[in-house]
Amino acid sequence: MPSGHGAITLAWAAATDVGHRRQVNEDSFVVEPPIFAVADGMGGHAAGDLASEAVVRRLGDVISDGFVTPAAIGLALAQAAHDIAHLDGTALVGAGTTVTGMALTVSGDDPYFAVFNVGDSRVYRYLSGDFEQVTVDHSVVQELVDAGAITRGQAENHPDSNVITRAIGFNEPPMPDYWMLPLEPGLRLLACSDGLSKELSDEVIHQALAAGRAAEETAAELVRAALESGGRDNVTVVLVDVLEVEPGA
Amino acid sequence: MTGAFYLPEQTAPDQEWRLLVSERFLGAFGPDSPVSLMSTLWRIAADPTLGLDALVAAVPTRGAGAVHSFAIAALGPATTFVVRGDGCADIAVAGRMRRVDARGNEPWYVAELQAVERFALGPLQRSPGDLHPGAQDIPLEGGVVLGPWLGWTHQLVVTPAPRRLTAPTPVQSPFDTNVLTDLGRRAASLDRHRVEPPPTAPTPETAAAAAFRLGDRPPERVDAPVYVGRQPRSPRVTGPMLPRLVRVDSPSREVSATHIELRPTAEGLVLTDLQSTNGTVVRQPGIGVRRLESGESLPVVPGTLIDIGDGNVIEILPYR
């Protein structure tokens, strides 16, 4: 516990569904302080579910009582990439996964969430009316948007919408992006696979987070909405609420 | 008995690696690793509450003072190797020899191996031999020493030979052929390392190193981007160098949530006002006072005072 703070109270929930079209749920998740994460094994690739399992297992290994360093996350992801490279029977086709989530960490004496991302799963942030997508997709479409070649609107139905530019696995060293977000009471972070973000618009996700329902209920509601909207992919959500951040004595 | 050993041989200073041995960790760090870093690493390695991640995180891999090469081994039921740059681990495992090197992966490459019998940590440009301790090698129980490489064996049966302080045995050419039968790919990797040595980053001794002090808090070295504000957050960052976030009190909310950035560059520190509401006032030695417009950047030197409001003044200091 950082000296500047008495106690941090969190609530969290996770929900997942295979969806209406897929036979296998290739998503995996871990929700245990200080790590909350979603991994989406590559659809169509061999052993995508093993790859996403490998990354959440490695993240699970760094779970401790208090906080983790972002370097520990980087190391866990590198180890997962190594595991995935050695999955049986995948040497020729390759296997890979996205991963995104948040980990409790400390800078100075203050607690932060280190949000991390590789691929096109997402973390959204909601705090007192403000809603934003924290992570930036590692996807061809996002690169086209960044380059000004297409608009956000055109991005939604782009034929390359499922092509990602970074992953854990496929014999690449992982290149995670990080964001540091201060812990504030009322902060609500949502990590999800693209089975949610491709089915529901930002407005719908925003409404669900703003509705003021408990984490568990909100997570279940989001998955239900994604299934009603088509459920074309596996859908997984992990939700964390910061209830209290008590200043220490 | 840690199982560690090395050859206490005199070599050129630019070939002397820093060898660290603790109960759980062995490490060989390239000749550019400063002594101050080694003492930090030793403290981490000796602290049973800290793990491999803490040890690896303590080695700067970017910016001023970056360590370009190392090889670390964490002992356990499985042995985890973390290698970077020209650092590599030659490993005897299950009766076979293999080499783990970074192959250009940034910031490092990790491998975990079961049933490791022996290994050596050190530079790529070294023939691993059979990794058995030789007659001239001496065991290491713990600490930090200088040497060309660090060995480890599951069962150490070396008889310590008297230390030879004069007439060291001739050193093999550093570019001696790698005896591993394994793969042209590794040769290519070696070639890459030889042809394109990593660019030399400024050392902590150069003018680029700087620190800051906020009010009466202790000074802190700037070796990663620093974000200062009332409730600071960082923008997107790729790579292992995570930013330092510094929260200040601002009862009247003059200070913006994330007000300024201090970024270390090869040329020195760069201050940027991050579109703050109330701006930033900078007093530069010999130049005077000026106000940074919202979003403006400015190189800053030691002696500069940065006022972000509500009595929060940041002083730029030379490092040590």
A39/chain B closest Cα distance in angstroms: 19
Residues of B in contact with A68 (CB under 8 A): 53
- Is residue A149 very low, low, confident or very high in pLDDT (cuts 50, 70, 90)? confident
* Interface contact B243, partner A, CB < 8 A: yes
Its domain, for residue A12, covers 5-247
Enter the pTM of the model.
0.64
pLDDT of residue B319: 76
Neighbouring C-beta atoms of residue A152, cutoff 10 Å: 10
Compute the C-alpha angle B158/B159/B160, nearest 5°. 105
Tokens 């292992």 sit on residue: B240
Q: Among A14, A39, A8, which Cα is nearest to A239's?
A: A14
Range among A63-77, A88-102, A132-146, A180-194 rated most confident: A180-194
pLDDT digit string, tens, across residues A61-75: 888 767 888 888 888
Domains and CATH numbers, chain B: 4-195 (3.60.40), 210-318 (2.60.200.20)
Considering CB atoms only, which of B107, B111, B244 is closest to A107? Answer: B244
* Interface contact B185, partner A, CB < 8 A: no
Q: Cα separation of B149 and B224, whole Å?
A: 30
Residues of B in contact with A82 (CB under 8 A): 110-112
pLDDT of residue B174: 28
Alpha helix (H) residue ranges in chain B: 35-46, 52-57, 184-195
pLDDT tens for chain B, residues 1 to 320 = 678 888 777 677 778 899 999 889 999 999 988 888 888 898 888 888 888 888 998 898 888 788 999 999 999 888 889 999 999 998 887 777 788 888 777 788 888 887 888 999 999 887 777 788 887 888 888 888 888 889 998 875 444 443 333 333 333 332 222 222 222 232 233 233 333 333 333 333 344 578 999 988 889 888 889 999 999 999 888 866 678 999 999 999 999 999 999 998 888 899 999 989 989 999 998 889 999 988 899 999 999 999 999 999 999 998 76
Which of B55, B245, B255 to mutate to test binding with chain A, by most A CBs within 10 Å of its CB? B245
DSSP 8-state symbol, B178 = P
Q: Among A67, A70, A111, A63, which Cα is nearest to B57's?
A: A70
Tokens 């924290």 sit on residue: A134
What are the C-alpha distances in Å from A130 to residues A36, A206, A207? Answer: 21, 9, 11
Regarding predicted confidence, which is higher, B69 or A3? B69
pLDDT of residue B238: 80
Considering CB atoms only, which of A82, A114, A178 is closest to B110? Answer: A82
Q: How many domains does chain A have?
A: 1
pLDDT of residue B171: 31
Q: Cα separation of A98 and A126, whole Å?
A: 22
Instruction: Give the ipTM of the model, two decimals please.
Output: 0.78
DSSP string, A83-131: HHHT-TT-TTT--EE-EEEEEEEEETTEEEEEEEEESS-EEEEEETTEE
Q: Least CA distance to B111: which residue of chain A?
A: A82
Cβ pair B110:A75 closer than 8 A? yes
Considering CB atoms only, which of B51, B240, B245 is closest to A108? Answer: B245
Cβ pair A71:B80 closer than 8 A? no
Residues of B in contact with A62 (CB under 8 A): 53
Ramachandran angles phi, psi of B246, nearest 5°: -120, 115
Whether residue B161 contacts residue B23, with contact meaning beta carbons closer than 8 Å, is answered with no
DSSP string, B41-54: HHHHHH-TT--HHH
Alpha helix (H) residue ranges in B111-245: 184-195
Whether residue B271 contacts residue B282, with contact meaning beta carbons closer than 8 Å, is answered with yes
Q: What is the CATH number of the domain that holds A167?
A: 3.60.40.10
Q: How far apart are the first and last CA of chain A?
A: 13
pLDDT digit string, tens, across residues A210-249: 999 999 999 999 999 999 999 999 999 999 999 998 875 3
**If contacts are CB pairs under 8 Å, which of residues 99-158 in chain B contact chain A?**
105-112
pLDDT of residue A110: 87
What are the C-alpha distances in Å from B146 to residues A112, A175, B31, B214? Answer: 39, 33, 9, 38
Considering CB atoms only, which of B57, B234, B240 is closest to A179? Answer: B234
What dihedral do alpha carbons A188, A191, A195, A201 form, nearest 10°?
Answer: 40
pLDDT digit string, tens, across residues A25-39: 999 999 998 999 999
The answer to whether residue A187 scores a pLDDT higher than 60 is yes
pLDDT of residue B214: 92
**If contacts are CB pairs under 8 Å, which of residues 251-290 in chain B contact chain A?**
none
* Interface contact A227, partner B, CB < 8 A: no
The answer to whether residue A182 scores a pLDDT higher than 90 is yes
Q: Least CA distance to B52: which residue of chain A?
A: A72
Considering CB atoms only, which of B57, B238, B247 is closest to A71? Answer: B57
Q: What is the mean pLDDT of chain A?
A: 88
pLDDT of residue B188: 30
Q: Cα separation of B240 and A178, whole Å?
A: 9
**If contacts are CB pairs under 8 Å, which of residues 161-180 in chain A contact chain B?**
173, 175-180
Residues of B in contact with A67 (CB under 8 A): none
Tokens representing residue A206 in the block: 């925003």
